[in-house]
Structure 1
């Protein structure tokens, strides 16, 4: 006699695996570490400060 299989369990496991694979793909595509975000923010702030320091004020 064969054992009873719960098809819902297999369906849910397959859905979880698909979501996990999609999440991994998004992490590779969009994910950045906290350190990378902080570095980029610091570089942007430094570039903005450099541009502001070299700005010429027009006499009015």
Structure 2
């Protein structure tokens, strides 16, 4: 004889698995690589330095 399973737990586990799969797909589709993030950070820092250099001192 088989052991009974809790249907609520099975349903919740199936839902968690489908949400995790969807999150992984979105991470691949919309995520950014570390190199891209580093490039954007470096560009923002450079822009900030240039802007500070062009500010007037009063």
- Larger helix fraction of residues: 2
TM-score range, shorter chain: 0.5 to 0.7
Equivalence map 1:1-60=2 (5 Å)? 12=13, 14-15=14-15, 16=17, 18-27=18-27, 28-29=29-30, 31-58=31-58
TM-score, normalized by length of structure 1?
A: 0.61
TM-score, normalized by length of structure 2?
A: 0.63
Runs of 4 or more, structure 1, over 3 Å off, are none
Rg: which structure is higher?
1
Shift of 1:22: 1.2
**In 2, Cα distance between the equivalents of 1:48 and 1:19?**
39
